[in-house]
Amino acid sequence: MSSSRFSPALQASDLNDFIAPSQDCIVSLNKNSAASRLPIKKKQVVVSTKPPEESVKISLKDCLACSGCITSAETVMLEKQSLDDFVTRINSGKTVIVSVSPQSRASLAAFFGLSQSQVFRKLTALFKSMGVKAVYDTSSSRDLALIEACNEFISRYKLSQLSSDKEVGTSLPVLSSACPGWICYAEKTLGSYILPYISSVKSPQQVIGAAIKHHMVEKLGLKPYDVYHVTVMPCYDKKLEAVRGDFVFSVEEKEVTEVDSVLTTGEVLDLIQSKSVDFKTMEESPLDRLLTNVDDGGHLYGVSGGSGGYAETIFRYAARALFNREIEGPLDFKILRNSDFREVTLEVEGRPVLKFALCYGFRNLQNIVRKVKMGKCEYQFIEVMACPSGCLNGGGQIKPAKGQSPKDLIQQLEGVYGLASVCDFNFISLLTHSSFMSNFSAILLQLSCSLLTSYILLNLAVIATRTFLLVASHYMLPLTLNLVNQVSVSNPFDNPIAKRLYDDWLVQPGSDNAKRYLHTQYHPVVKSVTSQLQNW
């Protein structure tokens, strides 16, 4: 596994496949070292007497304890976040629960030419045939995270209006917290000046982990340590997030992690292909409704936005809660310096009162951080993602097919994900209908003959028709098939799962229970120069 699979922000944070002196691990791995280091000024040789060395295993938690690197020992560090370990755990006697992200579903749907709903039902059947107890949907936990994020933004916005004091002023802008690559980069490289601006709300991965390990286990009649919880994510950085010390708790003197393992979309594809089954023709299984966004008709639902819809959801909520403005229709995000940096503004009586931004990719991220540091950021909320194009383009997603550009793949994923409108669907259905195609061909030929009987123009018409048919069948038809079972766009506050969890467990948004289980904190990581220079 190369470090290139991690997000650009993490790669920029000293992630290399070698250990240079400036990157050497600061964790003491061998406490029995008998090395005697004499003063350098005497220029004497260091004499070392060591017992035979054993293979060292560095955990991901150890790696996150410093601002060093993910080294060439990645395969060792990630051994408990692997497909092999997942298969082993299924047979260990623990109750295995899998939570699947919508971005991963979309990637698999695009690869197999299926809808998200079909993919989810087939994945459920596959996992359960292997012994998995339940398969859930992180769209449900994303709705919980969005509700908490809306409540947090309103509180911080109101706080910012109370005083111009610098300390109070750090309440805005709010920087989203769902991207672990961005969080790791902020903690290791940017430090304490940026961390107060980051939302304290956990990512959907960790929210569903908290819901399962702290609450749902009781409904299942289990102990938290009896459950092995696996998530399927579009991003390798999620493996790092899962092992953060903040997401570990103790039960009966046993350490329990909210998420025990993370598989990327690509790893799940490897699992499917290793089973030597035709995934497209596999039988489908009913979905587990306990933590899955599926309505009574069997249709999936969730927010729009390939990276979680944080900016859009909070913008709409803030417009209504703060300015009594109900926004109908899609938001008008304006592209600024590139397609990965967009902004949307709410004006009241000709005056801008809310200004939000989407900031994807490391280059845009650096520009925003610079403005925040200088106190010149004009936005109240910024949806930050380390990967260009956001989560749909995560490093753990299935790679483009041969001859397919990354840009084409992203466009395909956006269509499969459900970002196309119903009007788009009707138009595409019309274009790809066989009777329309044959009539369209005939019309072109008749026009060319009636206007000019030129042999050249006639042939051009035939070529144009064939080209149109080819393009339509290759690009539009798969999209049409996927849009038939498009995920319905919904309001997180209307989610019955979220309402039930608040009633039974969390009480209300922003409550003590909500803050305890759905919020976290961040820690600046200080480089240890002394430890890094020891081996010079």
Q: Supply the pLDDT for residue 57.
A: 52
Which pLDDT tens digit goes with each residue over 161-191?
886 655 555 689 999 999 999 999 999 999 8
Q: Is residue 36 part of a domain?
A: no
Q: Provide DSSP, 369-389.
A: HHHHHHT----SEEEEESSTT
Which pLDDT tens digit goes with each residue over 397-412?
999 999 999 999 999 9
CA distances to 178, 233, 273, 327, 393 from 108, rounded to whole Å, are 22, 12, 12, 33, 13
> How many domains are there within the chain?
2
Instruction: Considering only residues 58 and 208, tell me which one the structure prediction assigns the higher pLDDT.
Output: 208
Residue 397 is encoded by which pair of tokens?
């997603």
* Pairwise CA distance, residues 391 & 203, whole Å: 13
Same domain, 388 and 473: no
Which pLDDT tens digit goes with each residue over 439-459?
544 544 454 445 545 456 556
Classify 95 as helix, strand or coil.
strand
Q: Is residue 440 part of a domain?
A: yes
Which pLDDT tens digit goes with each residue over 115-166?
999 999 999 999 999 999 999 999 999 999 999 999 999 999 999 988 665 5
Which pLDDT tens digit goes with each residue over 69-90?
444 444 445 667 889 889 988 9
Taking residues 46-52, what's their average pLDDT?
Answer: 56
Q: Supply the pLDDT for residue 37.
A: 45
Q: Provide DSSP, 201-250.
A: BPPHHHHHHHIIIIIIHHHTT--GGGEEEEEEES-THHHHHHT-GGGEEE
Q: Is residue 9 part of a domain?
A: no
Same domain, 381 and 435: no
Same domain, 360 and 461: no
pLDDT reading at 522 higher than 70: yes
513-522 b/e (C-beta count within 10 Å ≥ 16 → b): ebbebbbbeb
Q: Is residue 22 part of a domain?
A: no
> What phi, psi does 178 have (nearest 5°)?
-75, -20
Same domain, 157 and 168: yes
pLDDT reading at 428 higher than 50: no
Taking residues 506-522, what's their average pLDDT?
Answer: 98
Taking residues 381-401, what's their average pLDDT?
Answer: 95
Boundaries of domain holding 222: 78-395+405-419+491-536
Q: Supply the pLDDT for residue 44.
A: 54
Q: pTM for this structure?
A: 0.79
Nearest CA to 48 out of 460, 534, 470 is that of 534
Q: Supply the pLDDT for residue 82.
A: 86
Same domain, 156 and 260: yes
Mean pLDDT for the chain overall: 80
Q: Supply the pLDDT for residue 132.
A: 96
The model's confidence at residue 102, banded by pLDDT at 50, 70 and 90, is very high
CATH code, domain carrying 506: 3.40.50.1780
pLDDT reading at 58 higher than 80: no
Classify 103 as helix, strand or coil.
helix
Same domain, 303 and 353: yes
Q: Is residue 436 part of a domain?
A: yes
Contact 74, 81 (CB under 8 A): no
Q: Is residue 304 part of a domain?
A: yes
Same domain, 447 and 330: no
β-pair type (134-137, 95-100):
parallel
Instruction: Considering only residues 479 and 380, tell me which one the structure prediction assigns the higher pLDDT.
Output: 380
pLDDT reading at 283 higher than 50: yes
Same domain, 90 and 151: yes
Q: Supply the pLDDT for residue 45.
A: 52
Q: Supply the pLDDT for residue 461.
A: 58
pLDDT reading at 513 higher than 90: yes
Q: Supply the pLDDT for residue 525.
A: 84
The model's confidence at residue 462, banded by pLDDT at 50, 70 and 90, is low
Taking residues 98-118, what's their average pLDDT?
Answer: 96
Lowest mean pLDDT among 193-197, 319-323, 486-490: 486-490
